[in-house]
Amino acid sequence: MTSGVALASTPVIGIASSSSGVTLDNATVSGNASVFDGSRLQTRAFSRIHMNNGTRLDLSAGSSATIYSNHVSLESGMSEVQSTSGFEVDVKTLMIRGAESSSIARVKVAADNKMVYVTALNAPVNVRNQQGLLVARVTPGMPLWFVPQTTGASVFESTGCVLNKGGAAIVVDQTGNQIFELRGMDLRKVIGSTVKISGAVDASATPVAGASQVVKVSKAVVTRKGGCASVASKVGATTTAAGLAAGAAGAAAGGAAAGGAAAAGGAAAAGGAAAAGAAGAAAAGAAAAGAAAAGGIGALAVGGIVAGTAAAGLGAAAAGAIGGTTSP
């Protein structure tokens, strides 16, 4: 009786449809069922929730999730969301939301419950940490994997091409998809090279056009000299330091150059796995991802989240309909 009164006082936020039924708030239901704010769903087959706010939320077979009026907390399985109201998918410490009103985001929790795959089906999807810091912008054709870490919310580590864009130093990570502005260090001697950057995200600073965040650099180690011309052309930058400011720490240029010399003998090890504050954990995440490790693509670590490309081994999370050819 108490449970019935509680449900009656909770607003209905949508309707769940499934040809094979679902377990809704510990009760097995078939056909259509009302979804309340905070309802927990466990699916036996593909299920679709039509939200009152116009959001379409799909769950694959074997998924578990708690549904709220403005977000879904995905515990296992896979979900797909299309929403013009900013509806969000939360998984562990990740907050995933379409960057455009037409964006369709697909999110998959790995079987080991440690890794999360995010695919943008038709338009970009933003991934943030619990503090709201933009970790990555996933674009169509470039799915990414994510592993939450225990590092600080502003810790940054990434390997990529360091370039000059309009008088500002930037790094384009090895996925070719994430761009960050670099400040606080004289990077003129490493422009045009692949560099492992360590530092902290300055969420209060406004980045140069095209970059998602500003990073205050504490360390820069060259892992490969040159070879960034094609990347520079793609993002509208140059591989020369002409017009680039010296930065806040002139002495740091020597450190960056020294790092480049040290990296000459160990570039392969340096580029294997980049992680924020926990290189060992990142290496494990890259190995679990499979595709990233096999492809030699280093990880990106921002705000306590490690990310990398998931070009293979993603299955239905990357392509196809998660419900097959039939939908309720």
Whether the pLDDT of residue 154 is over 90: the answer is: no
pLDDT of residue 107: 96
Residues ≥6 apart with Cβ < 8 Å to 218: 184, 185, 198, 199, 200
pLDDT of residue 311: 60
pLDDT of residue 76: 95
| Average pLDDT over every residue of 141-156 | 82
| Banded model confidence at residue 254, pLDDT cuts 50, 70, 90 | very low
Whether the pLDDT of residue 118 is over 80: the answer is: yes
| Banded model confidence at residue 114, pLDDT cuts 50, 70, 90 | confident
| Average pLDDT over every residue of 113-126 | 93
Whether the pLDDT of residue 144 is over 80: the answer is: yes
| Banded model confidence at residue 130, pLDDT cuts 50, 70, 90 | confident
pLDDT of residue 250: 36
Pick the CATH number of 12-147 from 3.40.50.1000, 3.40.50.720, 3.10.150.10, 2.60.120.1440: 2.60.120.1440
Please state, in angstroms and rounded to a whole number, the distance separating the CA atoms of residues 91 and 93.
6
Please state, in angstroms and rounded to a whole number, the distance separating the CA atoms of residues 160 and 302.
14
103 vs 8, residue with greater confidence: 103
In the chain, where the domains are located: 12-147, 155-275
Whether the pLDDT of residue 316 is over 60: the answer is: no
Please state, in angstroms and rounded to a whole number, the distance separating the CA atoms of residues 21 and 28.
7
When mean pLDDT is compared across 75-79, 227-231, 294-298, the lowest value belongs to 294-298
Pick the CATH number of 155-275 from 2.60.120, 1.20.58, 1.10.3470, 2.40.50: 2.40.50
> Residue 256: CA atoms inside 13 Å, Cβ hemisphere, count?
28
pTM for this one?
0.75
% the chain with pLDDT above 90: 55
Residue 290 DSSP one-character state: S
Whether the pLDDT of residue 292 is over 70: the answer is: no
| Average pLDDT over every residue of 165-184 | 90
